[in-house]
Structure formats: structure tokens, C-alpha cells
Amino acid sequence: MYDMKALYQAKDVADAVALRLQHPDAQIIAGGSDVLVQMREGKRAGVELISIYGLNELRGVRLEADGALRIGSLTSFSHITRDPLIQKHVNVLGEAVDQVGGPQIRNIGTIGGNTCNGVTSADSASTLFAYDAVIELTGPDGIRRVPIQEFYIRAGKVDIRPGEIQTAVLIAKDSYENTHGHYIKYAMRNAMDIATLGTSVNVRLSDDRRTVERARVAFGVAGPIPLRAVHAEELAAGQPISAELAESFARAVKEDINPRDSWRAAKDFRMHIAVESARRAFLESVKLAGGEL
């Protein structure tokens, strides 16, 4: 049984915004893979819910006029993984969300819910950080777009203002064009487990495939919110591809990450796997980009 005060069904985005203003303490629910579990555990007893699950205009992936990749906030993980545009331009995102939970969760869980939770362990988050994603929010004052680095405020807290709902995740053409990436999730089990550490790397190589033009690396569970390791990125930019560069790149991530001790893993162990996973993901990204070592 679910202890709720009321359930409101939004008819469209404008109606969802109006309901948010009328019921400011209500919880938005999409797939419900997180909210319903929390309610069953008694953590949200007597809550009001605003369901946006029926808003099909918030589903799907398409290219905007400027080439930006637009992912509707209600697009499920399964649809992201299978989408031809994702597979062509940011296949690493499809690989990352394909490691969320099990098939049932991936069929109902949404990219919007995964990011709005504000948790550092979200499998989509590190890849979206590595691609400089932008979060689109629609509210009473219209559309507001926020870089994902600013959207995450602190653990479990994101920048959603009164009356707003998240409507899309955007990745600019300059962020994904000619880039190839790889995601590594380290967890205690191979399936149905929260990440002990998530690592996402992508690279853009020179035309002759011998030099790193640009590298990005982002982590989940290496701090209270997902984060980029900018020292490693700066170190790799403009450097010729080599095994030595991969090692230096990986070691440099320690300049920016600050994992914590928890029952899942000690801080020192998370530091170790961050370095190793950064090295492996960098090498795989170079390989996917056509580079040779």
C-alpha cells in the first residue's frame, strides 16, 4: 500500500507547471522507480504526487536546428540505449544507462528522474558531465537552461525552482561531434547494484589520429555530486597518444576527486579504482576514436 494524500495527473507541460504552483509541496513522479520505493518504505507518508508520466511530448531523442542532441526528460533508459541518434553520436550514454538496475527498471526509469534525484551515483550523470550537458527546465517564467555542473547543487539537491519541471537534457554539437567515449561502472555486483564508482571518458583526436585534441573525464561517487577532473583534461589536451599519456592522465584525476569512506568502499580504494578506471576508459576511448598505441 502507498500512503499518499492526492495524485494529480498533468495533461501537458503547462498543466504540470500550474499543478506545481498550486501544490508546491507535491512530488513529481514519472516512472516511479524511486518515488514509489521510498513511499513503500514510509519515507514519503501522506505525500501529494503530480504525475507527468503521460506527457509524451517529453519522450524521445531528436536533433535541434543547431545540431544539439535533445533527449526528452521522460525518455526511458531502454529507449536511450536503442536510439539511433544516441548510438551514432553519444553511444557511451546508452552504454552507461544500460547498466542501471535490471530490465524492468530500465524500461520505466527516465533520464529526467535519474538527474533530478541529484545523487552522485546516477549512472547517467558522469557521462552527461563529461559531455557538458545542459538541463532544460520549464516553469512559470518560461524555459530556463542550466549547465549540468550548475544544476547539481549538493548531494540530493538540484536547481529546480518553484513551479518548474525538467523537460529535456541537451548535448551541444560541439560537445559530441567527432568524440568517442567509454563508461566504466565499478560495483560490488555485475547487475542490480549502485555504483561504487562511475567513470566516463571521451576523447577527440586530430585528423591523423595521433594527437589528443580534447579529453573529458567525469566521475560519479568521487565526491558529493558528480564532477569533472579538469587537471587530467588539461594535461591530455594537445598531447601525442601514448601509453605514458594514459598513465599521466589517470594519475592526474587525483587532483580533483574527493571520494568518501562508506560501507561500500574505503576512500583509498575509490581513489585506486578511479585512477585505474580512468586509464582503461581513456585507452578504450582512444581505440574507439581510431587511435593506435
Residues counted in the chain: 293
**Tens place of pLDDT per residue across the chain (293 aa):** 677 788 999 999 999 999 999 999 998 998 777 777 677 766 777 789 999 999 999 999 999 999 999 999 999 999 999 999 999 999 999 999 999 888 888 988 999 999 998 988 899 999 999 999 999 999 999 999 999 999 999 998 999 999 999 999 999 999 999 999 999 998 876 666 688 999 999 999 999 999 999 999 999 999 999 999 999 999 999 999 999 999 999 999 999 999 988 877 899 999 999 999 999 999 999 999 999 88
Domains and CATH numbers, the chain: 4-51 (3.30.43.10), 58-174 (3.30.465.10), 178-288 (3.30.390.50)
Dihedral through CA 14, CA 20, CA 23, CA 29, nearest 10?
A: 110
What integer pLDDT is reported at residue 60 of this predicted model?
Answer: 97
Digit-coded pLDDT (tens) for 89-123: 999 999 999 998 888 889 889 999 999 989 888 99
Question: CA 38 to CA 45: how far, in whole Å?
Answer: 9
DSSP 224: S
What integer pLDDT is reported at residue 38 of this predicted model?
Answer: 72
- H or E stretch including 113? helix 111-116
Cα Rg of the chain (Å, integer): 19
DSSP 76: B
Residue 201 exposure: Cα atoms within 13 Å on the Cβ side: 28
DSSP string for residues in 154-218 = ETTEE---TT-EEEEEEE-HHHHTT-EEEEEEE-SSSSS---SEEEEEEEEE-TTSSBEEEEEEE
Residue 99 near residue 185, CB atoms below 8 Å: yes
